[in-house]
Amino acid sequence: NESRPINGSSISNTCTITSQFINSSGVAMGEPKLHYQAEVIVSNEKQSLAKRIEPGTLLPDTSSIGIGEKDTSLIYHPQRLFMDGVFKTIHDIISFDGKKLITKIADRSRAAIFADDPCPEFVTDVVLLDGMFQTGGVFEFLTDSFVVLPYKIKSLKFFKRGVKDVDYICITTRVSSDDETDTFDIDLVDSDGNYLMELVEFQMVKLNRLPDDERIKEMVVF
Protein backbone atom coordinates (compact mmCIF):
# COMPACT_ATOMS: atom_id res chain seq x y z
CA ASN A 1 0.00 0.00 0.00
CA GLU A 2 2.81 2.41 0.84
CA SER A 3 6.56 2.38 0.12
CA ARG A 4 9.39 4.42 1.60
CA PRO A 5 13.18 4.23 1.38
CA ILE A 6 15.01 3.20 4.57
CA ASN A 7 18.55 3.71 3.29
CA GLY A 8 20.35 3.56 0.01
CA SER A 9 19.68 -0.13 -0.57
CA SER A 10 16.46 -0.96 1.33
CA ILE A 11 12.81 -0.10 0.77
CA SER A 12 10.02 -0.57 3.31
CA ASN A 13 6.56 -1.49 2.02
CA THR A 14 3.49 -1.31 4.26
CA CYS A 15 1.04 -4.01 3.12
CA THR A 16 -2.51 -4.80 4.25
CA ILE A 17 -5.20 -7.34 3.38
CA THR A 18 -8.75 -6.08 3.90
CA SER A 19 -12.24 -7.14 2.90
CA GLN A 20 -15.39 -5.15 2.20
CA PHE A 21 -18.93 -6.54 2.31
CA ILE A 22 -20.95 -5.50 -0.76
CA ASN A 23 -24.64 -6.33 -1.03
CA SER A 24 -26.47 -7.67 -4.10
CA SER A 25 -27.07 -4.12 -5.31
CA GLY A 26 -23.36 -3.36 -5.32
CA VAL A 27 -23.50 -1.07 -2.29
CA ALA A 28 -20.65 -1.30 0.24
CA MET A 29 -21.96 -2.04 3.75
CA GLY A 30 -20.06 -1.01 6.85
CA GLU A 31 -16.35 -0.29 7.08
CA PRO A 32 -13.59 -2.36 5.47
CA LYS A 33 -12.24 -5.06 7.80
CA LEU A 34 -8.49 -5.41 8.28
CA HIS A 35 -7.34 -9.03 8.32
CA TYR A 36 -3.54 -8.82 8.06
CA GLN A 37 -0.89 -6.16 7.93
CA ALA A 38 2.87 -6.29 7.56
CA GLU A 39 5.98 -4.26 6.86
CA VAL A 40 7.94 -5.82 4.00
CA ILE A 41 11.57 -4.70 3.71
CA VAL A 42 13.42 -5.42 0.46
CA SER A 43 17.19 -5.09 0.67
CA ASN A 44 20.02 -5.51 -1.81
CA GLU A 45 22.78 -5.42 0.80
CA LYS A 46 24.96 -8.50 0.38
CA GLN A 47 25.50 -8.94 4.11
CA SER A 48 21.74 -9.15 4.67
CA LEU A 49 21.22 -11.80 1.99
CA ALA A 50 23.29 -14.58 3.56
CA LYS A 51 23.30 -16.29 6.94
CA ARG A 52 24.68 -19.54 8.25
CA ILE A 53 23.62 -21.53 11.29
CA GLU A 54 25.63 -20.73 14.40
CA PRO A 55 28.85 -22.75 14.82
CA GLY A 56 28.37 -25.65 17.19
CA THR A 57 24.68 -26.11 16.40
CA LEU A 58 24.05 -29.77 15.70
CA LEU A 59 22.67 -30.59 12.28
CA PRO A 60 21.56 -34.24 12.52
CA ASP A 61 21.97 -36.89 9.89
CA THR A 62 18.66 -36.61 8.01
CA SER A 63 18.49 -40.38 7.54
CA SER A 64 19.26 -41.36 11.14
CA ILE A 65 16.01 -41.43 13.11
CA GLY A 66 12.40 -40.33 12.89
CA ILE A 67 9.00 -41.49 11.71
CA GLY A 68 10.27 -42.14 8.19
CA GLU A 69 8.76 -41.43 4.79
CA LYS A 70 6.14 -44.18 5.00
CA ASP A 71 4.72 -42.95 8.30
CA THR A 72 3.97 -39.31 7.46
CA SER A 73 0.31 -40.38 7.44
CA LEU A 74 0.58 -39.95 11.21
CA ILE A 75 0.68 -36.20 10.71
CA TYR A 76 -1.07 -35.80 7.33
CA HIS A 77 -4.54 -36.78 8.40
CA PRO A 78 -7.89 -34.94 8.06
CA GLN A 79 -8.05 -34.40 11.83
CA ARG A 80 -4.45 -33.17 12.08
CA LEU A 81 -2.68 -31.71 9.03
CA PHE A 82 -5.15 -31.68 6.15
CA MET A 83 -2.64 -30.53 3.47
CA ASP A 84 -2.04 -32.68 0.41
CA GLY A 85 -0.55 -32.42 -3.05
CA VAL A 86 1.61 -29.32 -3.48
CA PHE A 87 1.69 -28.52 0.22
CA LYS A 88 2.52 -31.97 1.57
CA THR A 89 6.09 -30.97 2.31
CA ILE A 90 7.13 -32.63 5.61
CA HIS A 91 8.82 -35.93 4.72
CA ASP A 92 10.33 -37.03 8.02
CA ILE A 93 10.51 -36.15 11.69
CA ILE A 94 14.23 -36.37 12.35
CA SER A 95 14.25 -35.69 16.09
CA PHE A 96 12.21 -34.24 18.93
CA ASP A 97 13.13 -33.68 22.58
CA GLY A 98 10.04 -31.86 23.81
CA LYS A 99 11.56 -28.42 23.15
CA LYS A 100 13.04 -28.61 19.66
CA LEU A 101 11.54 -30.38 16.65
CA ILE A 102 13.73 -31.13 13.62
CA THR A 103 12.03 -32.17 10.40
CA LYS A 104 12.93 -32.85 6.77
CA ILE A 105 11.08 -30.57 4.34
CA ALA A 106 11.09 -30.69 0.54
CA ASP A 107 9.00 -29.54 -2.40
CA ARG A 108 8.57 -32.80 -4.35
CA SER A 109 5.10 -32.31 -5.80
CA ARG A 110 4.33 -32.47 -9.50
CA ALA A 111 0.83 -31.06 -9.01
CA ALA A 112 -0.13 -27.66 -10.46
CA ILE A 113 -0.54 -24.76 -8.04
CA PHE A 114 -3.13 -23.02 -10.26
CA ALA A 115 -5.00 -24.51 -13.21
CA ASP A 116 -4.16 -21.53 -15.45
CA ASP A 117 -0.63 -21.06 -14.07
CA PRO A 118 0.80 -24.42 -12.91
CA CYS A 119 4.21 -23.05 -11.84
CA PRO A 120 3.84 -19.39 -10.87
CA GLU A 121 6.99 -17.41 -10.10
CA PHE A 122 6.29 -16.27 -6.55
CA VAL A 123 8.60 -13.72 -4.97
CA THR A 124 8.63 -15.86 -1.82
CA ASP A 125 9.02 -19.63 -1.53
CA VAL A 126 5.41 -20.29 -0.54
CA VAL A 127 5.55 -24.11 -0.59
CA LEU A 128 8.53 -24.44 1.78
CA LEU A 129 7.26 -21.58 3.95
CA ASP A 130 3.93 -23.36 4.39
CA GLY A 131 5.88 -26.45 5.42
CA MET A 132 7.58 -24.38 8.12
CA PHE A 133 4.15 -23.28 9.37
CA GLN A 134 3.03 -26.92 9.43
CA THR A 135 5.85 -27.89 11.80
CA GLY A 136 4.20 -25.78 14.50
CA GLY A 137 1.16 -28.01 14.15
CA VAL A 138 3.31 -31.14 14.31
CA PHE A 139 4.96 -29.82 17.49
CA GLU A 140 1.49 -29.51 19.03
CA PHE A 141 0.51 -33.04 18.00
CA LEU A 142 3.59 -34.38 19.77
CA THR A 143 2.97 -32.39 22.98
CA ASP A 144 -0.38 -30.85 23.89
CA SER A 145 -2.47 -32.37 21.06
CA PHE A 146 -4.00 -29.04 20.01
CA VAL A 147 -5.04 -28.11 16.48
CA VAL A 148 -3.46 -24.72 15.75
CA LEU A 149 -3.51 -22.10 12.99
CA PRO A 150 -1.08 -19.25 12.14
CA TYR A 151 -1.92 -15.98 13.85
CA LYS A 152 0.99 -13.53 14.01
CA ILE A 153 4.63 -13.19 12.94
CA LYS A 154 7.18 -10.85 14.49
CA SER A 155 9.66 -11.16 11.62
CA LEU A 156 10.36 -13.38 8.63
CA LYS A 157 13.62 -13.14 6.68
CA PHE A 158 14.25 -14.66 3.27
CA PHE A 159 17.88 -15.44 2.40
CA LYS A 160 17.64 -17.67 -0.67
CA ARG A 161 15.12 -19.78 -2.55
CA GLY A 162 14.79 -23.50 -2.22
CA VAL A 163 15.28 -25.94 -5.07
CA LYS A 164 12.63 -28.48 -6.03
CA ASP A 165 13.29 -32.08 -4.91
CA VAL A 166 16.05 -31.03 -2.50
CA ASP A 167 15.70 -31.89 1.19
CA TYR A 168 16.04 -29.09 3.75
CA ILE A 169 16.23 -29.15 7.53
CA CYS A 170 13.60 -27.28 9.54
CA ILE A 171 14.38 -26.50 13.19
CA THR A 172 11.29 -25.57 15.21
CA THR A 173 11.66 -24.33 18.78
CA ARG A 174 8.76 -23.41 21.04
CA VAL A 175 9.70 -20.19 22.86
CA SER A 176 6.49 -19.55 24.82
CA SER A 177 3.05 -21.01 25.48
CA ASP A 178 -0.19 -20.00 27.18
CA ASP A 179 -3.83 -21.07 27.18
CA GLU A 180 -4.58 -19.43 23.82
CA THR A 181 -1.39 -19.44 21.75
CA ASP A 182 2.00 -21.06 21.23
CA THR A 183 4.98 -19.14 19.84
CA PHE A 184 7.82 -20.65 17.82
CA ASP A 185 11.16 -19.71 16.29
CA ILE A 186 11.63 -21.66 13.05
CA ASP A 187 14.77 -21.90 10.89
CA LEU A 188 14.99 -23.54 7.48
CA VAL A 189 18.53 -24.44 6.40
CA ASP A 190 20.25 -26.59 3.82
CA SER A 191 22.52 -29.55 4.62
CA ASP A 192 25.49 -27.18 5.02
CA GLY A 193 23.66 -24.94 7.50
CA ASN A 194 22.99 -22.07 5.10
CA TYR A 195 19.73 -20.27 5.84
CA LEU A 196 16.81 -20.18 3.43
CA MET A 197 14.32 -18.58 5.85
CA GLU A 198 14.26 -17.43 9.46
CA LEU A 199 10.92 -17.12 11.24
CA VAL A 200 11.01 -15.29 14.59
CA GLU A 201 8.19 -15.41 17.14
CA PHE A 202 5.67 -17.16 14.92
CA GLN A 203 2.47 -17.28 16.95
CA MET A 204 -0.20 -19.93 16.44
CA VAL A 205 -3.65 -19.83 17.99
CA LYS A 206 -5.06 -22.96 19.62
CA LEU A 207 -8.43 -24.05 18.24
CA ASN A 208 -9.33 -27.32 19.92
CA ARG A 209 -7.69 -30.35 21.47
CA LEU A 210 -7.67 -33.54 19.43
CA PRO A 211 -10.02 -36.32 20.57
CA ASP A 212 -8.28 -39.12 22.44
CA ASP A 213 -8.55 -41.51 19.49
CA GLU A 214 -6.87 -38.98 17.16
CA ARG A 215 -3.85 -38.17 19.33
CA ILE A 216 -0.44 -39.40 18.18
CA LYS A 217 2.01 -38.25 20.88
CA GLU A 218 1.86 -41.67 22.56
CA MET A 219 2.51 -43.37 19.19
CA VAL A 220 5.81 -41.61 18.40
CA VAL A 221 8.76 -42.29 20.68
CA PHE A 222 12.11 -40.49 20.34
- Residue 65 is predicted with a pLDDT of 44
What average pLDDT score do residues 109-131 get? 85
The DSSP secondary-structure symbol of 31 reads E
Beta bridge partners of 188: 170, 197
Are 66 and 221 in contact, with CB atoms under 8 Å apart? no
What average pLDDT score do residues 110-120 get? 82
pLDDT category of residue 63 using cuts at 50, 70 and 90: very low
Residues 83-102 pLDDT 10s: 777 888 999 888 888 889 99
pLDDT category of residue 191 using cuts at 50, 70 and 90: confident
Report the percentage of the chain scoring pLDDT > 70.
85
Residues 64-88 pLDDT 10s: 445 555 567 777 777 777 777 788 8
- Residue 68 is predicted with a pLDDT of 52
CA distances from 157 to 20, 64, 154 (A): 30, 29, 10
Does the pLDDT value for residue 28 go beyond 60? yes
Among 208, 206, 168, 165, which residue's Cα sits nearest to residue 186?
168
b/e 62-91 (16+ beta carbons within 10 angstroms → b): beeebbeeeebebbbeeebbebeebbbbbb
What average pLDDT score do residues 28-40 get? 89
Among 85, 92, 180, which residue's Cα sits nearest to residue 138?
92
Higher pLDDT, 64 or 38: 38
What average pLDDT score do residues 151-179 get? 92
- Residue 106 is predicted with a pLDDT of 93
Among 215, 168, 176, 221, which residue's Cα sits nearest to residue 194?
168
What average pLDDT score do residues 125-141 get? 92
Are 34 and 16 in contact, with CB atoms under 8 Å apart? yes
